[in-house]
């Protein structure tokens, strides 16, 4: 039987030309935030040109999911690697805006826009 977090969130990782794209779907809450945190940490290594976290398929973004993004953002800054967050839906934008994280994250409206900015 799958773990509960597996049903809540999933992350597809694509690597191409030094850029890592994490396509997240489902719900990012306390029980599933590691589904994003682990691959995000793995993506942020020396030699990567940029990382995009695509949240267009996320239905819920809780504080633990935001914490995973903030941790990833700090790590990216330390490495000098751009990290962009694709966020368009109310379920994702509202918590980012309400917590003032629009000043922390580099946001894009589409994956294509984010990739073009790396």
The partner residues of 52 in beta bridges, in order of sequence, read 21, 84
At CB < 8 A and 24+ separation, what contacts does 76-82 make?
A: 76/44, 76/51, 79/44, 79/45, 79/46, 79/48, 81/44, 81/48, 81/49, 81/50, 81/51, 82/49, 82/50, 82/51, 82/106, 82/117, 82/118
- Are 19 and 52 in contact by the 8 Å Cβ rule? The answer is yes
Tens-digit pLDDT profile for residues 100-114: 999 999 999 999 999
> What percent of the chain lies above the pLDDT cut of 70?
94
- Alpha carbon of residue 78 to chain centroid: 17
- Alpha carbon of residue 46 to chain centroid: 18
Give me the pLDDT at residue 110, please: 98
Mean pLDDT along residues 89-106: 96
Mean per-residue pLDDT of the chain: 93
Q: Domain locations in the chain?
A: 4-116
d(CA 75, CA 87) in angstroms, rounded, equals 20
Give me the pLDDT at residue 46, please: 87
Assigned fold of 4-116: Transcription Regulator spoIIAA (3.30.750)
Tens-digit pLDDT profile for residues 48-79: 999 999 999 999 999 999 999 999 999 999 99
Mean pLDDT along residues 14-21: 96
């Amino acid at each position: 039987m799958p773990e509960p977090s597996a049903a809540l969130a999933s992350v597809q990782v694509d690597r191409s030309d030094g850029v890592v794209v994490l396509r997240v779907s489902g719900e990012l809450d306390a029980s599933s935030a590691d589904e994003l945190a682990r691959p995000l940490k793995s993506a942020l290594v020396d030699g990567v040109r940029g990382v995009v976290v695509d949240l267009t398929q996320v239905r819920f973004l809780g504080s633990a999911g935001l914490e995973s993004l903030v941790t990833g953002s700090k790590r990216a800054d330390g490495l000098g690697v751009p990290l962009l967050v694709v966020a368009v839906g109310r379920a994702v934008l509202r918590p980012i805006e309400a917590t003032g994280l629009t000043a922390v994250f580099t946001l894009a409206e589409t994956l294509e826009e984010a990739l073009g900015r790396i």
